[in-house]
Chain A
Amino acid sequence: DAGVTQSPTHLIKTRGQQVTLRCSPKSGHDTVSWYQQALGQGPQFIFQYYEEEERQRGNFPDRFSGHQFPNYSSELNVNALLLGDSALYLCASRGGSGAYNEQFFGPGTRLTVL
């Protein structure tokens, strides 16, 4: 089992550009969440996808959007990049409807906006 995988590992963009980050959940998992972790901070929840729909959203602007595919993989899109978007973006997956189901994190994508 490969666990949660993310691509790319590192990315450098300039202000105003758009970026797409990708995530493949752990085998058997159907729910994917995205988090932004700024330097020196804890992860902040962006949104969660289940059954190809955004189910919950944190306090992030509409520039942040996502998608979930039938195979449960997911993309995070960020438009009109700002310097403040520089961060480690973490994807997490979990599966099943159990109340205690654990969330597994991927290694993250390091985005640098210049």
Chain B
Amino acid sequence: AQSVTQLGSHVSVSEGALVLLRCNYSSSVPPYLFWYVQYPNQGLQLLLKYTTGATLVKGINGFEAEFKKSETSFHLTKPSAHMSDAAEYFCAVRKPRSNTGNQFYFGTGTSLTVIP
């Protein structure tokens, strides 16, 4: 079974500070991993994804994440927070190449607040 745990339902950072949003997964096989962002009253937008290959992936808006198999983690980081980064962030996993389940499993989300 696939599951995702996001540590910290609320994270506050000062503008210009490092952003670190944590995600740990549980999966019977190495999954595909995703980070989505959701702004108020909007759908989800893909920030970045890991499927295979390089474990450090770069996404939009200066975000990046590193897949660490030994830690079953896929933490999202950004070196310098901007006010426009304030949003809800969701980590998700998906089984690779599965005939029985290629649906996404989402974490409960982390609300990021950026303090001026």
- Give residues in A with beta carbon < 8 Å to B: 4, 33, 35, 40-45, 48, 56, 58, 90, 92, 99-100, 102-108
Contacts and interface: CB of A to CB of B under 8 A. Distances in A.
A37 B77 CA distance: 25
A113 B111 CA distance: 25
Given A56-B101, A100-B51, A44 B106 contact: yes
B17 interface: no
Contacts of A103: 46, 104
Interface of B: 4, 9, 32, 36, 41-46, 49, 51, 90, 92, 96-97, 100-109
Contacts of B100: 56
B76 to A, nearest CB: 15
19 contacts: A40-B9, A40-B108, A40-B109, A42-B4, A42-B92, A42-B106, A43-B106, A45-B104, A48-B103, A56-B103, A99-B51, A100-B32, A103-B46, A104-B46, A105-B36, A105-B44, A105-B45, A106-B43, A107-B42
